[in-house]
Structure formats: structure tokens, C-alpha cells
Structure 1
Amino acid sequence: MYQPHPSPILKSLFSLKPFQGAEPKSATFLFVGLDANYDEEIELKPIFKDVLSYHENGVKFWNQRGVHHPFLLPQYSGDGHRYHRSFARIGFRPEHATLVSFVELLDFPTVGRSSLTVQDLDPKYLQHLNSLILEGSAKYIFLSAGVARLMKISKQFPWLRAVTGSAGILPVIHSDGLRTVYLHLHFSNYGKFQKQMDLEADAIRSLLFKSGVEVAGRANVEENSPITDQPNRL
């Protein structure tokens, strides 16, 4: 169950580019989420012009503003900030912008709290996602367990099985020699799960070395108020 976002501008942007960051077919790191959720009145907020700039060209935005998502800009402190702050701990920098892409199981923006079921998903769009994963250039694909569960139930991803092994701290759910699909904790986790999340961030950052890209250490991102206390691989 979900509620589509009422903003015609946001919906138009997603219809043109149902992804965030780099083009998913040419990215090296592909992060698959459930849905792209925004405040119902996002158009009235000062951050909206930055949101539009981001969705028009995520790579350009990252290089110009120094952060991968507008929710990390100083003037924003609403929902989604913790997720993107946790992602930033991996240590990707603006020069990595062309390597990183985000896609979701819904190809349009939502508002409010979503609780997705497989009936909410478009089989044709899922087939497109499957093609991006298996035929795109991404070497490293990341799913939280909730995403993986819906993908498996949909039967549009026949390669998706139970965990088949691990690459250090990250469970592996598919590997074919060209690409590896990992399971990770949802980036909105915090508190007692922070140590595991830090280890996973280190593991993801280490994959940049395998790609031959120079990286810095884990980003030191300041903590804010908690959002959830659930072990959200789901």
C-alpha cells in the first residue's frame, strides 16, 4: 500500500528519469530501494529547487554541491536525512558520482508511510529492473531484505535465491562472475545496529578499491535524532 506524491513536477521528473544519481545502466554501484518518498508539501519548502536540480542531473548536483543528495544540505532536516547520512558514511565522493545509482521498486515518488506488497508493483517495470541488474554495467548491487523479499515474491527475478555465501561482512545472494548482489542493513537503522552498519559501510567502500578507484576513509557524519530502532534488513 502506498500513496503517490501529488506533485506533478516530481511525477514528471520521475517519468523521465525513474532513478537517482547516475544512469543505472552505466553505474558500477547500484542500490535498490522500495520507493522514493517525499514530504507532501515539498514544493513549498526552500529545498525544493535543490530537489529539482538533483533529479534533473544527479551527477552534476553531486559535483556542484558536494553531497550526493539534497537531504544532506544544511537547510534540510526532515525525513530521509538519516538514510542519506548513513549512506554518506561509505565514503563516496563527488568524483565517484558517475559510479553510483539508486533505483526503487516503484518508478514514481510517494508520500506518507508506504507498506508495499507485491500487488503494488508493476511487472513490466520489474522486468526493466531485472534487465538493469543482469545486463547493465553494475558490478555491485545492494538490496535490503525487504526489497529482496518483494523481488523474490514477484517472480520477476528468477536468479534471486537465499543467501549463498558472504563477502566478509556482507551476505551474498547472487554472483555470476560479472556482478554480485549483496544484502545489507537498511540505511535508516541506527543505535545498536550502528556497529554492523559501519562494518558494512567499510565493506562497500573496499569494493571501490577493486574498481581501481582511489577512496578516502569512512566519512565522519554527525549523528542526529533517531528514526528507528528496528534491525531493518527487511
Structure 2
Amino acid sequence: MFIEHPSQALNSLFRDKPYQGVNPEEAKFLFIGLDANYEAQIDAKPIFAKLREYHKDGAAFWRSHQVHHPFLLPQYSGDGRFYHRSFARIGFTPEHANQVSFIELLHLPTVGRSSLVPADLNEEHLSKLSQIVLAGTAQHIFVPQAVARLMHATGRFAWLLKRPSEQFGPLGILYRQQAKTVYSHLHFSVYGKFEARKINEATAIRSLISAGI
């Protein structure tokens, strides 16, 4: 169950591009999430102009503002900042802007707390996502554990293992085919007792950037 975000402007941005960052069909690093969640009145806040700029061209935004997401700009301090600060710890830079993409299982932006089930998801969007992973350019695909569970529950991702077949450091491997690997990792919003592992996972992902693989 979820609540679709009330902002017509935000929904319009997602209808045009149901992803963030570079087009996922052209990415090298692809991060899959559950849903893109925003506070209810985000379109009434000054940051929304930057959000609109970002959703229209995430790579250009990154190069222009030197951060991968508007929630990292100094004028913003609301929900979502912690997630993106954790992601930034990986070490991607603006020169990687054309390589990084974010896509969610749910094709619409949400507000409030979501508890997604397979019936909430759009079949066409899921089919497209599976095609992007299997046939797209992405070499490194990252899936948090809760996302993987929902992907399994849909029955549309038979290629995705339920348990890692091997490890890349702290990252479990759920699929590998030639130059393409799907990794299991912690959600970037976890904290407390999970913080040390999250840092180790960020270091492992950074090594993939450094190795140029």
C-alpha cells in the first residue's frame, strides 16, 4: 500500500522520466529502490526548482552543482538528506554523472510511509526494469534486501537469486552474467548498528569505480 504524491508537477516529472540520474538503459552503475518518497509540500518549497532541474537532466544537474542530488544542496535540510549523504560516501564524482542511475520498483512518487506489495506495482514498468538489468549497459546493479524480497514476490525476476551465490567483500551477489553483476546491499538510510557495514559496503562499491570495471 502506498499514497501517491499529491503534487501534479512532481508526478508529471516521473511520467516523463520514471528514474533519476542518467537514463538507466545507458548507465554503468544502477541503483534499484522501492519508491521515490517526498514530503507532502515539497513543491511549495524553494528546493523544488532545483528538484525540477534535477529530474529533467540529472547528469547535467550533477555537473552544474557538484552534488548528485538537490537534497545535498546547502539550502535543504529535510527528509532524504541522510540517504543521499550516505550514498555520496561511496565517492562518485561529477565525472561519473553519465554512469549513475536510480530507478524504483514503483513508477510513481509517494508521500508518507509505504508498505508495498506486488499488486501496487505496474507490470509494464517491472518488465522494463527487468529488461534494463538483463539487456542494458549497466555492469553493476545494486539491490537492497527489502527490494530484492519484493522483486521475488512479483514473480517477474526469476533470474534474481534469493540468497547470494558468492560475495564481493560485504556485498552479496544475486546474479552474475559475463560483465554484469547484481549486488545485495543495505539500504542507504540504515543507521546505528548497521552503520559499520554500510561504510564497508560503500568502500566495496568505491573499489569498483576505482578499478574501472
Range of TM-score over shorter length: over 0.9
Instruction: Tell me the equivalent position of 1:122.
Output: 122
How far the C-alpha of 1:46 sits from its partner, in A, is: 0.9
How far off its partner does 1:121 sit?
Answer: 0.9
Q: Tell me the SS of whatever aligns to 1:174.
A: strand
1:100 aligns with 2:100: yes
* Alpha-carbon shift at residue 123 of structure 1 (Å): 1.6
Give the distance between the partners of 1:192 and 1:155, measured in 2 at CA.
32
Matches within 5 A, 1:197-216: 197-211=198-212
Q: Where do 5+ consecutive residues of structure 1 fail to align?
A: 213-234
1:53-68 correspondence to structure 2 within 5 Å: 53-68=53-68
Q: Distance in 1 between matches of 2:78 and 2:115?
A: 20
| 1:208 counterpart letter in structure 2 | I
AA in 2 matched with 1:4: E
Return the alpha-carbon distance in structure 1 between the equivalents of residues 52 and 208 of structure 2. Answer: 30
Alignment match, 1:24? 24
Cα drift, residue 211 of structure 1: 2.1
Identity %: 53
For residues 178 and 25 of structure 1, what CA distance do their matches in structure 2 show?
A: 15
**What TM-score do the two structures reach when normalised by structure 1?**
0.89
1:184-207 CA-partner distances (Å, limit 9, x unpaired): 000001122111111100100100
1:38 maps to what in 2? 38
For residues 101-140 of structure 1, the C-alpha deviation after alignment (integer angstroms, 9 at most, x for no partner) is: 0000011111111111111111221010000000000000
TM (norm. structure 2) is: 0.97
May I ask how many residue pairs the two structures share in their alignment?
A: 212
User: Following the alignment from structure 1 to structure 2, what is the Cα–Cα distance between the partners of residues 83 and 68?
Assistant: 12
Q: What's the CA shift for 1:176? A: 0.9
| Separation in 1, partners of 2:12, 2:90 | 31
Tell me the residue number matched to 1:222: none
Bigger shift: residues 49-58 or 161-170: 161-170
Q: CA deviation at 1:42?
A: 0.7
Q: Within 1, Cα distance between the matches of 2:152 and 2:170?
A: 23
Distance 1:123 1:152 in 2: 14
Q: Aligned partners of 1:167 and 1:103: how far apart in 2?
A: 23
Distance 1:170 1:115 in 2: 25
Match of 1:156 in 2: 156
- Partners of 1:44 and 1:12 lie apart in 2 by 16
CA distance in structure 2 between the partners assigned to 1:97 and 1:149 by the alignment: 29
Per residue, is there more helix in 1 or in 2? Answer: 2
Paired residues for 1:180-191 under 5 Å = 180-191=181-192
Gap regions ≥5 residues in structure 2: none
Q: 1:166 maps to what in 2?
A: 167
State the Cα distance separating 1:77 from its structure 2 match: 1.1
**Alpha-carbon offset, residue 157 of structure 1:** 0.8
